[in-house]
Structure 1
């Protein structure tokens, strides 16, 4: 079951780059330098975001290792904590951050836009039907999120469900 996010957790998730860092570190631990390279970002800026994610429990440092020329490297691994939180009334910043992260990740596939499975559907539902649909989608996503993630290709799902005020 999800629990309400603290203010610090909601603030940490209200950043597109932090959401992307969590996703990058989901399957294997990456160092700050590796994260910065994958994001094409400044390592100092990325370190600020990594520290915020560590402080709020979204990333956990792994065993320190030696890098090139004897430098100290700390790889970070994502927890599943973000999936266990309910953002409730704190959603505004997080929803914008999710859209930003989604757009940034789509930009990486620009030449392969046909590889993305888009769907768009307009429905008319009673409040009870709306709640049933929302709960069923959440249950399906929870089921897949809880599965072992060591094999297979990485995929991302972005689902937006909202009242369509353009059709009133």
Structure 2
């Protein structure tokens, strides 16, 4: 996949948790403004404003107008996948898209309920810049591999990943020292 840096308009378009949720909903299935508003429990006018912004920046495309259940004409929209082809700035003060991603993930998780969580981990690592880049690259390759897999009998899953430098100074690292569960904060829940 050929990647490029996001334009300022694209960054601003993705700086909204609601827009990110709209993209996720339109990723696998085209949805009308009414369907989006119902799924998001938002006013259709508010949703339409965000849909138009996503269309204008190339993240959504309208599909052919169709007849709805009531016989009225409706226009469905589908995600273009553009957001997966973009690199976003990470300089200090330029991460509104990241804040929106965290909020959208939280909103999706709360909407699905605690029984929907399939696993997770909160951890800290001691990595130099090259190792941090390798960790990120390998994890993103794994994510892309599973996106391409699409199990025909699978359930729809969502997720969020972020790797950051910790604030402050952790102090000197004692080789081999570990304080176990408090250090990793790992919790995983298997689907039953």
Calculate the TM-score normalised by the size of structure 1: 0.90
Partner of 2:178: none
- TM-superposed CA distance for 1:69, in Å, is 4.6
> Aligned pair count?
166
Partner of 1:75: 76
Q: Deviations over 1:43-88 (max 9, x none)?
A: 0000000111111111111110122554220011111110000112
Partner of 2:184: none
Seen in structure 2, the aligned counterparts of structure 1 residues 65 and 16 have a Cα distance that, compared at 3 Å, is: same
CA–CA separation in structure 1 for the residues paired with 2:135 and 2:22: 30
**Higher Rg of the two aligned structures:** 2
More helix by share: 1
CA–CA separation in structure 1 for the residues paired with 2:32 and 2:68: 10
**Structure 1: runs of 5 or more not aligned:** none
CA–CA separation in structure 1 for the residues paired with 2:67 and 2:151: 25
Moved over 4 A (4+): none
CA–CA separation in structure 1 for the residues paired with 2:149 and 2:64: 22
Structure with more relative contact order (C-alpha pairs < 8 Å, separation 6 or more): 1
Q: Deviations over 1:89-125 (max 9, x none)?
A: 4751101100110111111133426x33121121111
- SS state at 1:155 partner: coil
1:102 aligns with 2:105: yes
CA–CA separation in structure 2 for the residues paired with 1:68 and 1:139: 41
**Structure 2: runs of 5 or more not aligned:** 171-192
Seen in structure 2, the aligned counterparts of structure 1 residues 167 and 106 have a Cα distance that, compared at 3 Å, is: farther
- TM-superposed CA distance for 1:157, in Å, is 1.8
